[in-house]
């Protein structure tokens, strides 16, 4: 008979005695902020702590690698209160943050409702997260932290509402939102091998690769009934040339013969491959296509990442 341990919750103050000096400092470390980012589907970089906003100072300000949006993180190792709700709005305004993350020990219902209200009454350029942090151990093990999202923006509703109000929504854009929403569900089902992006009407979807100089791009080309997946380099021909110099090793590792396009007349460069079979009006193969995309993204990231610094 298999013996299983019992998971017990640990008082947060026995793990992090001081909110600022212990918890905020711990969270700002690369490995720990990465775990939070994976929970929120953000790639958090450029971490700065204790930045002043007027006479106050916020806990952490950073950026989302793909969108470049400023992310404000405010920590509260106790239950939510009105004071901190006011602080996150004040700090977000003072720092012009696009994403606000409020991390707490316990979220009271009225503050969960307040965050939900903010998400429902702001546009797609502003997002609020309310996150509980817990710590658990099994037997005499060291405590393990866990982040639990209590409230988050409904990107699908926000995006559709925004474009509808602007009169910019058409059938193609609606089909793209539908595709990306279903794709995010597949990413979840696959155990989130990479951070999701919100579903938008855009034909592209970006995945972080570990450098601000490039990213993996998934592009829906419905008129050609195919999907392009590859490394997109916005403005760095030297990086493209560095990848090209290692073409044989990259293609051998990926087991793919990529299309290499330096695009000399443009700032951007692309290294990609294609998946055929996309048709917005015939969606019975969507699950197959989306799983192929996930496999390709994982393969491409594994093949190119070792050469980012070369």
- DSSP-H helix ranges across the chain: 12-15, 25-27, 30-40, 82-95, 109-120, 155-166, 171-189, 237-245, 247-254, 286-304
pLDDT the model gives residue 237: 95
DSSP for 151-164?
E---HHHHHHHHHH
Q: For residues 297 and 291, what is the distance between their CA atoms, to the nearest angstrom? A: 10
pLDDT the model gives residue 4: 80
Which domains are assigned to the chain? 7-153 (3.40.1350.10), 157-307 (3.30.1460)
Structure pTM?
0.65
pLDDT beyond 80 at 249: yes
Q: For residues 243 and 234, what is the distance between their CA atoms, to the nearest angstrom? A: 14
pLDDT the model gives residue 157: 55
Q: What is the pLDDT of residues 171-210, one digit of tens each?
A: 888 899 899 999 999 999 999 899 888 888 899 999 999 8
pLDDT the model gives residue 82: 94
pLDDT beyond 60 at 129: yes
Strand order in the sheet with 204-208: 204-208, 215-221, 226-233, 269-276, 259-261
pLDDT the model gives residue 196: 87
Q: Are 159 and 177 in contact (CB under 8 A)?
A: yes
Of 74, 79, 106, 108, residue with least CA distance to 90: 74
Q: Greater confidence, 109 or 165?
A: 109
DSSP for 97-128?
-SEEEEEEEE--HHHHHHHHHHHHTS-TT-EE
pLDDT beyond 60 at 81: yes
pLDDT beyond 90 at 45: no
Backbone angles phi, psi at 286, to 5 degrees: -60, -45
Of 184, 203, 204, 200, residue with least CA distance to 192: 184
Q: For residues 7 and 161, what is the distance between their CA atoms, to the nearest angstrom? A: 42
pLDDT the model gives residue 211: 85
pLDDT beyond 60 at 227: yes
Q: CA 130: distance to chain centroid?
A: 16
pLDDT the model gives residue 288: 96
pLDDT beyond 90 at 285: yes
Q: For residues 176 and 170, what is the distance between their CA atoms, to the nearest angstrom? A: 10
Residue 133 vs residues 107, 198, 305: alpha-carbon distances, Å: 10, 23, 31
Q: For residues 50 and 241, what is the distance between their CA atoms, to the nearest angstrom? A: 40
pLDDT beyond 90 at 253: yes
Q: Are 73 and 61 in contact (CB under 8 A)?
A: yes
Mean pLDDT of the residues in the chain = 89
Q: For residues 240 and 220, what is the distance between their CA atoms, to the nearest angstrom? A: 23
pLDDT the model gives residue 149: 93
């Amino acid at each position: 008979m298999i013996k299983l341990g019992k998971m017990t919750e640990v008082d947060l103050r026995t793990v992090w005695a001081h909110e600022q000096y212990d918890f905020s400092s711990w969270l700002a470390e690369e490995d720990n902020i990465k775990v939070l980012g994976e929970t929120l589907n953000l790639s958090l970089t450029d971490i700065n702590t204790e930045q002043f906003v007027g006479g106050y100072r916020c806990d952490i300000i950073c950026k989302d690698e793909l969108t470049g949006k400023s992310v404000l993180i405010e920590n509260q190792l106790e239950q939510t209160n009105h004071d901190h709700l006011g602080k996150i709005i004040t700090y977000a305004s003072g720092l012009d943050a696009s994403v606000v993350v409020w991390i707490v020990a316990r979220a009271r219902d009225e503050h969960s409702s307040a965050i939900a209200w903010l998400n429902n009454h702001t546009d797609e350029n502003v997002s609020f997260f309310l996150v509980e942090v817990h710590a658990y151990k099994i037997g005499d093990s060291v405590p393990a932290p866990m982040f639990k999202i209590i409230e988050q923006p409904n990107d699908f509703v926000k995006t559709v509402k925004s474009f509808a109000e602007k009169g910019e929504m058409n059938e193609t854009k609606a089909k793209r939102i539908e595709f990306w929403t279903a794709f995010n569900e597949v990413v979840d089902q696959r155990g989130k091998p990479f951070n999701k992006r919100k579903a938008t009407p855009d034909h592209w979807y970006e995945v972080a690769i570990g450098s601000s100089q490039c990213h993996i791009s998934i592009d829906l080309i419905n008129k050609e009934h195919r999907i392009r997946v590859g490394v997109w380099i916005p403005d760095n021909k030297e990086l493209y040339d560095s990848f090209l110099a290692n073409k044989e090793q990259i293609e051998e590792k990926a087991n793919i013969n990529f299309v290499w396009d330096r695009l000399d007349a443009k700032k951007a460069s692309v290294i990609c491959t294609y998946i055929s079979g996309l048709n917005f009006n015939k969606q019975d193969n969507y699950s197959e296509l989306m799983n192929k995309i996930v496999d390709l993204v994982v393969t491409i990231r594994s093949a190119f990442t070792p050469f980012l610094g070369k």
